[in-house]
Amino acid sequence: MQFRADIATVLILLSVLISASNWLGILYCLIFKKTGSALPLLGGLFGMLGILIAPPTHAMSSMKAFFWLPLIWDYGSAPLFALNFLRKRQNQSKAGDDSAKKP
């Protein structure tokens, strides 16, 4: 049981580290007007797995109902995919508007 708790702790710490670096990368890009990239899904998946495999005695065991939260707070997971989806839709609508304007 202790091994499972150790693995859960390592996964959660990796999730926090990756999520923080993703958000710091976004801030860097915004402040210095440069491009960057995020680690897609890793932070969210590590956090989700860490919460799900935490044994009942682990501090995170009460969070099992919220196993999906790391996928939301990690920029490389749901926010990144939502942003890309919205950009794609916006580009498609612009392309549709441009084709409608042509005679």
Single pTM value for the model: 0.79
CA-closest candidate to residue 35, choices 21, 47, 25: 25
Indicate the residue type of 100: A
User: How do residues 22-69 score in pLDDT, each as one tens digit?
Assistant: 999 999 988 998 887 878 899 999 999 999 998 888 777 788 889 999
Tell me: pLDDT of 100 over 60. no
Is 86 domain-assigned?
A: no
Is 23 domain-assigned?
A: yes
Say what the pLDDT of residue 101 is: 60
Place of tokens 């997971």: 77
Is 61 domain-assigned?
A: yes
Structural domain harbouring 34: 2-77
Question: If you average pLDDT over every residue of the chain, what do you get?
Answer: 87
Is 95 domain-assigned?
A: no
Specify the number of domains making up the chain. Answer: 1
Is 84 domain-assigned?
A: no
On the CB side of 74, how many CA atoms lie within 13 Å of its CA? 28
Is 43 domain-assigned?
A: yes
Is 49 domain-assigned?
A: yes
Is 89 domain-assigned?
A: no
Tell me: pLDDT of 77 over 70. yes
